[in-house]
Amino acid sequence: MAELLQFTLLGASNSMIKTLKNIKRLLVIVRILAKYNTFFLLERAGVFSNSLQRARRLIIIGQKSPFGLSNKRPGERLSLAFRELGPIFIKLGQALSVRRDLVGDEVAEDLCSLQDELEPFPAIEAIQVIEKEFGRSIKELFLEFNETPVAAASIAQVHFGVTSEGEKVAIKILRPGIENIFSQELDLLFWLGKTIDRYIPNSKRLRIPDVIAVLAETVSDEMDFRLEAAAGDELRENFANDPIFHVPRMDWKRTSKRVLTLERIEGFPADEVEAIKATGQNTEYLVANMARLFFLQVFRDGFFHADMHPGNMMISEDGTLQPIDFGIMGRIDRQTRFYLAEMLVGFLNSDYDRVAKIHFQAGYVPANQSEKAFAQAVRAIGEPILGLPLNQISLARLLAQLFDVTKRFKMETQPQLLLLQKTMLVAEGVGRQLHPETNMWELARPLIEDWVKNQMSVENRISEVAEEAKLAIERLPFLISEIGKNIESFRRDGIKINPGDVQPFNYQRKSKSKWMLWTFTIVIGLVYLIFLRS
């Protein structure tokens, strides 16, 4: 009993210490957010504006306001605050840049430019990480190792080198101690998110704990370079025979959880337009290729590069597009791809009834909402944007405004579409920099339309049914085995029913009871055919 009491008290003590640490860090965060005047997010969540401003005036006593702060937009102030708060808040800002329903269009736009750049850590520490990971000296692994990093971010930094086989490579090394830093900060964010969710009712629809969970999962994946190498390999395989899209080779012999070694890519970042033009490249052709590659990644493969800012897309002198940094990738299942394609085609054809119907079929909008009213809201979004000159039309902005109507129609956030929408926005920006007169989505339109027609074809539907039947047949032995185990269990132990569990069955709909009866009959029939007749 004494041991149990001691264990309980120890747990309570650890919990109290953790809470106190969170509160201490929270005070630092609040002070920095107040310094940059960023309490507007709380105002939008339903906290009284006057109370917040009074609190802010008290918090910033003794703090010197940053120069020129009064002339900056809210999103710019928030970006500055996140930079000062450190790596995890930079990641949080990048995650919020796709949550226009939470922060608004203007703030999201400013957060899109939040770059993950930090001071580099010493080269000797990078070498120590490499040697510890592989149990070999740096000279055994590399003929050359450039101690000056070419890039430094919150999670890792990159050095150039030459392998012992003479291959030019880029070496990405995890920042020492970053796992503990991110773990502590994420614990705080989870605690804070749950607190906001509990005490500010208006915030529940925004699913803040879910946003933080996605951020935590993303950061966890980014800190395991084996996963990034696997993602790069998969993308490389998907485009193995594409002449104008080159994904770098992974050097698995020199890749581990904390070190990633891959083929060194040479070229120009996609925003260095003048340097690209100086090589004689046709920038309109480059944008057309970008549109095609985006379509193939999203619709053909359902696997796309989700961090395609200009620095992550290199263009060689012969016009080959070369992606780098595969830490953030997106996946979309086939059904979501189909709905997305139908949605985009519907918008491009100004068929708003079709767009509304797709949302209801996909279950994005609850069935108790009015489809006609939703179509009207969609028209109000689409007409102003689609009425612009072709080169000014932004499907990413259109999707962003579409997500903004979620408040009215109770549409829940779709994380997979938000990530895609951010990727589309960045791709649009790169395309406009390269060739402002071209709209990459209009170039991708026939590809999307053909894909939808192909998916709806009789041959494709038959193929899908056959594939589903094949999977069902493959799972049948497992299901039969489980049924056999359950029958044996019933024979041995009988069926135990909790009286409290019986009551809900009285309220089941008759149609559900019939469905269960038919399912039970079919299962018993299968058991009879396979076992009793064998």
Buried b (16+ CB within 10 A) or exposed e, 361-372: ebebbeeebeee
Q: Find where tokens 């193929």 sit.
A: 463
Residue of 221, 307, 325, 333 marked catalytic: 307
Given CA atoms 85, 88, 91, 97 in this order, what sign does their dihedral have?
A: negative
**Residue 516, exposed/middle/buried by CB under 10 A (0-12, 13-18, 19+)?**
exposed
The residues facing 314 across adjacent strands are 269, 322
Residue 396 and residue 421 in contact, taking contact as beta carbons nearer than 8 Å? yes
DSSP character string of 523-534: HHHHHIIIIIT-
DSSP character at residue 507: G
C-alpha 442/C-alpha 169 separation (Å) is 37
Residues in the chain, overall count: 534
Strands annotated E in 231-308: 259-263, 268-269, 303-305
- The three-state DSSP-derived secondary structure of 113-169 is CCCCCCCCCCHHHHHHHHHHHHCCCHHHHEEEECCCCCEECCCEEEEEEEECCCCEE
Please name which of 101, 84, 59, 89 lies closest in space to residue 207, comparing C-alpha atoms: 101
* Coil, strand or helix at 476: helix
DSSP character at residue 436: T
Residue 375 and residue 353 in contact, taking contact as beta carbons nearer than 8 Å? yes
C-alpha 6/C-alpha 247 separation (Å) is 57
C-alpha 442/C-alpha 440 separation (Å) is 5
Please name which of 326, 324, 329 lies closest in space to residue 265, comparing C-alpha atoms: 324
Q: Find where tokens 């971010």 sit.
A: 153
DSSP character string of 298-334: IIIISEEES---GGGEEE-TT--EEE---SSEEE--H
- Annotation says 307 is catalytic: yes
Residues 6+ positions from 388 with CB-CB distance below 8 Å: none
> Kindly report the CA angle at 158 between 29 and 85, in degrees rounded to 5?
5
* Coil, strand or helix at 231: helix
Which sequence positions are flagged as catalytic?
307
